[in-house]
A and B are shown apart, each in its own frame.
Chain A
Amino acid sequence: MVLEATMICIDNSEWMRNGDYSPNRFQALADAVNLICGAKTQSNPENTVGILTMAGKGVRVLVTPTSDLGKILACMHGLEIGGEMNLAAGIQVAQLALKHRQNKKQQQRIIVFAGSPVKYDKKVLEMIGRKLKKNSVALDVVNFGEDDEGKAEKLEALVAALNTNDSSHIIHIPPGPNALSDVLISTPIFTGDGEGGSGFAAAAAAAAAGGVSGYDFGVDPNLDPELALALRVSMEEERARQEAAAKKAAEEAGNQEKGENQSTSQDVAMAENVNAGTSEPESKATDLMDDENALLQQALAMSMDDSSSNVATRDTDMSEAASEDQDLALALQLSVQDSTNDQSNPTDMSKLLADQSFVSSILASLPGVDPNDPSVKDLLASMQGQSEKKDEDNDKEQKEDKK
């Protein structure tokens, strides 16, 4: 929470047309400036930021220090590239602008973006540095682009001349795939001195660390923290639910295998089957709904090929997949559930029909059928009396007849 007035000196010389930073040096610089302006104005509500250009037709102050972020960002549009950078003049104009700041409590800071060669002598820069130090101005230098005529050395000397208490920094950013702003995020220029930086800086850094996707769920947690929290909580609940379902499915699959192998423990198997069977219509419905989901289909087909005996190995596969691809993992989970249900159904259909409560619940769910109807009850009773080897097709026909 440093209270600061900052002047940002932009290099808009011809050198900035170079494309060695994506998309070009000037665009990269503009992005970085936007980022820093945001960080500075958010770290303290009374912070002010101003912008000036060092090239073109001489040094030009675009915005005097203001806390209005919109004003700052607006001035960055339509900037023209041209001329050569005048570093000494730029820094001195910036110092003048800072000197006349409204709030004398603000610390003074100049941030210089230097992308073109520095024509000034090292001695001149050191003199300017001492002058800044005397006026209690801190200076950050972002050195990128050209590196001729000992530019890095000169800028180092400039910063060294005024550095007190480690308040001034210089960073060298070589051309590369990383955007200028991404590199800046992790530097003390962006995070501020000590204190781990502002909340904005931390959030931006976290977003950058998380990858290019930026914010979770496409919502900026800074703009709407409550929404972001709600989304995160519901995401976690959903994840927990899916995990529990997967666990249950695996258990059921294991139990069913047991039931199939040991026909003597029929009661247990039956109870399990009731569970599996009741969920069958729902899962079938979801199958139809997700018909267009090619990924799911593929996963289903794969899991159908597998025999239910290797459920355990498949589970480990799934956990591996989960770490790689969430979508795939989800599809796999669903398919495991489905396949265990599907596999159990044809073989155990006769057992299922033997269970009165299950059949009556099915009948109740059918339209136009009253399970309490005496004729239906009679039929059910007769069905139970029949042998368990009865063909499932016949049963289905009977049911259809009833309809």
Chain B
Amino acid sequence: MNAAILVGTMAIVTMLLRFLPFIVFKKYTPQYVVYLGKVLPPAIIGMLVIYCLKDVSLVSGSHGIPELIAALIVAGMQAWKHNSLMSILLGTVIYMMLVQLVF
């Protein structure tokens, strides 16, 4: 029973966070928010890249080398072919090989 209440709480709070900006700016969106909507996407994606790599340690384990190699491959493939699926697939397969077989 308690678990159900906690699941419900997490669901409602998450939903509120997602809906809040849409509710607040339903009638009128200030120019400032329009501006944020334009510049935030690349900033957020930059933030998410760091967020995903936050637990990589440069001083211990494999020193972040597999992550660096795989990240360069993904970025390079994307710049070359502009095919996200291919970039992600190749980068991930190489990363898996690196962590399972090499490091």
**Do the two chains bind?**
no
User: Which A residues contact B (CB, under 8 angstroms)?
Assistant: none
